[in-house]
A and B are shown apart, each in its own frame.
Chain A
Amino acid sequence: MAHWIEPHPTGIYVRPADAWIDPSLPQARALVTHGHADHARGGHDHVWATRETLAIMGLRYGTASGTAVGYGEEIRLGGVTIRYVPAGHVLGSAQIILEHAGERIVVTGDYKRRPDPTCLPFQPVPCDIFVTEATFGLPVFRHPDTGGEMDRLLHALHANPDRCVLVGAYALGKAQRVICELRARGHHDPIYIHGALERMCALYADFGIDMGELRPATGVAAKEMRGAIVVAPPSALNDRWSRRLPDPITAMASGWMRVRQRARQKNVELPLVISDHADWDELTDTIRDVAPNETWITHGREEALLHWCMTHQMRARALALVGREEEDEG
C-alpha cells in the first residue's frame, strides 16, 4: 500500500509530487506542517505552508518566500491533491492530507485535541494511512485539565505577593497559549516576557491573538515585578538571566512535568502539566477516530503506541525520524 510515499530518516518523501514533508535537510520542494524548528528548517527552495507558518519561518530564518496554503484549500502537485487541515498544535499548525491513486494519507505533524485559544482545533480526517507523532506515547502521560493547572499558577502567584512566578514556556506556542489562558482566567495584570519571546508574541498579535498588556522583563526594576507573572523560555529558568527577578517561584509549563523526577531535575518548584502534544488518551482516541488501515509513528515513545496498535489489531510501524522532539516543546 501507498508505495507513493517513502519514510526517510530526514523526512517523508512524496514521490509523485517530488516533495518532502518537514524535511530536516534543505530540499527543492518542502511541505511544512508547522513552525517549530524540528519540523520547519531553513534553506528549502520552495515551501508550501499556512500563512502563519510562513510568517513564523520568515521570523526565524528571514526567508518568507513560499506559497501560502489556506486551511481546507486544495492544491495539486504532480498528481497529488494536497490539503492543510488544522492540527491544534500551535498557531498555523496543520495536518497535511495527501490524496493520490484512490488513497488518502494524513501526516499530522505535531497535534493535540484539547482546546487552545491560539489556534484552530484538530480535525480528524479518516484515512488509509495515518502518520502520527507519539511524543507522549506512554499511558503515564495523561494531561490534566488546563484550567486546573492555571488555577494552581494563579494560586501560587496570589499566595506570594512579594515574589514573582517565572513560567518556563517554549517560545513558539506554549508561551502565547499560557498567556491567553491566564487572560481567560481573569488575570489582566501586565505580564513580563523574556526578550527571546518578544518578536514571536508580536507576530501572534499581528494574527489577531490578543494577549493583553505584555512588558519586557529586561531593564525593569526587580520590585516592579513583585506579584507578577514572568514568562521566559525554559533555558532561561536556571540561568543567570533569572537572577534579575524578585525571588522567583520557578514554574514550567510542559507535558513532561507529569513525572516528578523530570520536574525536580529541572529545579522546577511549580510544575504545570500543560502540553501542546496529544497525551496517551488523545493519541489512542485519534487513531480510533480516523480508523486507518495502517498507522505510521514518526517520533516519540513509539514502542508503546506500536504495542497498543498491535494489541488492538491495527497495523502500525515506527519510522524513527531523526532530529525530532526538542524536549522543551513538550
Chain B
Amino acid sequence: MRQFSQLLDSLVYTRSRNGKLALIAAYMRDAPDPDRGWALAALTGNLDLKAVKASAISEMIRARTDPVLYEMSRDYVGDLAETVALLWPKGEEQPAELDDGSLSLSAVIDRLHSVSRAAAPDALAQMMDHLDASGRFALLKLATGGLRVGISARLAKTGFAHAFNLDVDDVEQVWHALAPPYTALFDWAEGRSARPDPEGTPYFRPFMLAHPLEADSVDLNDYAAEWKWDGIRIQIVGTGTETRLYSRAGDDISGSFPEIAQAFAGHAVLDGELLVKGDTQGGEAASFNALQQRLGRKAVTAKMMTDYPAFVRLYDLLIEGEDDLRTLPWTDRRARLEAYMALLPPDRFDLSALIDAPDFEALADIRAGARDAAIEGVMLKRRDSPYVAGRKAALWYKWKRDPLTADCVMMYAQRGHGKRSSFYSDYTFGCWTEDGELLPVGKAYSGFTDEELKWLDRFVRQNTLNRFGPVREVEKTLVLEVAFDSIHGSKRHKSGLAMRFPRIARIRKDKPAAEADRIEGLKRLVS
C-alpha cells in the first residue's frame, strides 16, 4: 500500500503535467502485479467498489476518539478522509506512524470488494491499523470512491504509455477490451503476450484537429466551410450493442450524457459537437454557458436533463459498420454522413450545415454577420482530406470569430502557478457602473508577453492597497484592454456578467481609468 499512497501524495503536490506523468510512469514500471493494475483502475476512475458513506467513516472515528477533538480537527483540516487519516488512534502494540507492509493495494481492493456494507467500517478499521497516515488517506479515498488527485483518465493512460514506450492512442484502442486489473495490458506492454484485440469494443479514436487560419484567404473550390460550434467536441462510438461518448481528451463521458448514449444504437463512429438546446433561441443551440451546467457531473438528475437537454451536431463519419471511412476524402465521408442522418433520432442528432458562399469574401461577410451565441467561428476543411489524427498542415483550419474587447481596470492580482509562480500574473478587472462603482467582470492570466508580465508584476507590487492572503488589491489606475470570445449573463458575479476566455490584449498605460468601459456597454454585447 505504501507505494500507492506515496504515489497519491506525490500527485497531490506535483503541479506540472510532465511531473505527474513521470510519477505515474515510474509507478507503473516498478509496482508489482496486480497492484499496479488496480492503481491504474483507481486513477482512471474504473474501480467499481460499493462506496462506504462519509457518515459511516465519521461514526467510526467518533467511536475511537473524543468527538469534540474530532470536530475541532475536522474543522481545522477541512477534508474528512485526511482528518480521520491523521487522527486515527492505532492500537497500543502498533507503531504510531508506520505502514507495516502487511497490506498490498490488491489485498485492500479484494477486501473492499467482498465486504458487505454493514461490515465495511470494521474491515476498514482493521486495515487502518496497519497503515501510516498516507496509507490511511489512500484507503479512505478508495473506500469513499473518488481519489480526486487532479488527474484525468487520459493523463493516467498517458503515464502508463510513457512507462512502456507505447503510443497512448494505441493504449486507448485496446483499453475497452480490458478490465481491471488489466493483466493482459501489462503482459502486452512488457512483451509477454500479443496486443489485446479491441475489435467489438467501443474504443476511442484520436480526433482530427485544425490549425488556426493564418492565410488571408483560401479557395472555396478546395475547401468546404461550416460553422464551428461552441460546445464540446465529442466522439460517439457504437458497436450496435454498446455506445460510448468520448471527450477530446479521450475521457469516457457517457455517464454525464446518458440521454445521448441511449439515443444511439448504431454500429458506427461519429465526430460532432455536444450542445444543449436553449429555449431562447427557439430550440437552437444555447451558449457554452448553458452547456457548462452539464459538464463535470458524475450523476445526472432528470431535472438537469430537462432543463439542459443535450444534442449532438454531427461533423463527420469515421466508421460505418465494418467500413473504415477515414482514408476517404472528406466529400465522400460527408455524403455518407448525410445519408446516415436518416437513421438517427432528430431530437438528439442534427447535421452541422455547410455554409453556402460563392467566394471567400462572401464567406467573410457571412462570418462577420453571425451573432449566434453558439457559433465560435468558421471551419475550413479541404474537400479531399482524409480523417487523420491530430493537426495536419493545410487540411483543416479554424477561423475563429474576431474577439470582442473591452477596456477594464485592474482591481486585484494574484500570483500564478508553474513558471509564473513568483509573478503576480492573475488579474481581476472591472468596469464602471452608472454610479461610478467598479465591479469585477472577469479574471485573466494570459495574453501578455514575458516583458509585459514583468511590467505588470512591478505595477502590482508598487501599487498595492491591501493584502488578502495571496491576493493583492491594487490602485484602480491601470486600464487593461481585455479580449474575450463572448460574454454572458451570470449570477456568480456581482456585475451579472461572465466572459468566455478573457485574455489581456494590451496594457493601456495611455488611458485614464475613468475612461474605461461601463457595465451597461458590456451588457449590450451579451449573446
Instruction: List A residues at the B interface (Cβ < 8 Å).
Output: 138-142, 144-145, 238-240, 242-243, 258-261, 263-265, 267-271, 301, 303-304, 307-308, 311
Contacts and interface: CB of A to CB of B under 8 A. Distances in A.
B12 interface: yes
A142 B97 contact: yes
B73 A140 contact: yes
A238 B423 CA distance: 9
Contacts of A238: 415, 421-422
A259 B12 contact: no
A240 B422 contact: yes
B417 to A, nearest CB: 7
Interface stretch (B80-88, B361-369, B403-411, B481-489): B80-88
A140 B87 contact: yes
Given A267-B417, A267-B421, A303 B72 contact: yes
A160 to B, nearest CB: 10
B66 A142 contact: no
Contact of A269 (B15, B73, B86, B470): B15
A239 B76 contact: no
B69 A270 contact: no
B66 A260 contact: no
28 contacts: A138-B72, A138-B73, A138-B76, A139-B65, A139-B69, A139-B73, A140-B77, A140-B83, A140-B86, A142-B86, A142-B133, A238-B421, A240-B422, A240-B423, A258-B133, A259-B76, A259-B77, A261-B78, A263-B13, A267-B15, A267-B421, A269-B14, A270-B13, A303-B72, A304-B73, A307-B66, A307-B68, A307-B69
B15 A139 contact: no
A243 to B, nearest CB: 6
B123 interface: no
Nearest to B89: A139
B469 to A, nearest CB: 9
B96 interface: yes
A263 B14 CA distance: 11
A11 to B, nearest CB: 27
Interface string B457-490: 0000000000000100000000000000000000
A144 B73 CA distance: 18
A327 to B, nearest CB: 12
Contacts of B79: 260-261
A31 B423 CA distance: 42
A99 to B, nearest CB: 34
A245 B422 CA distance: 13
Given A307-B69, A308-B69, A301 B13 contact: no
B422 A138 contact: no
A271 B133 CA distance: 14
B78 A138 contact: no
Contacts of B86: 139-142, 258-259
Nearest to A261: B78
Nearest to A239: B422
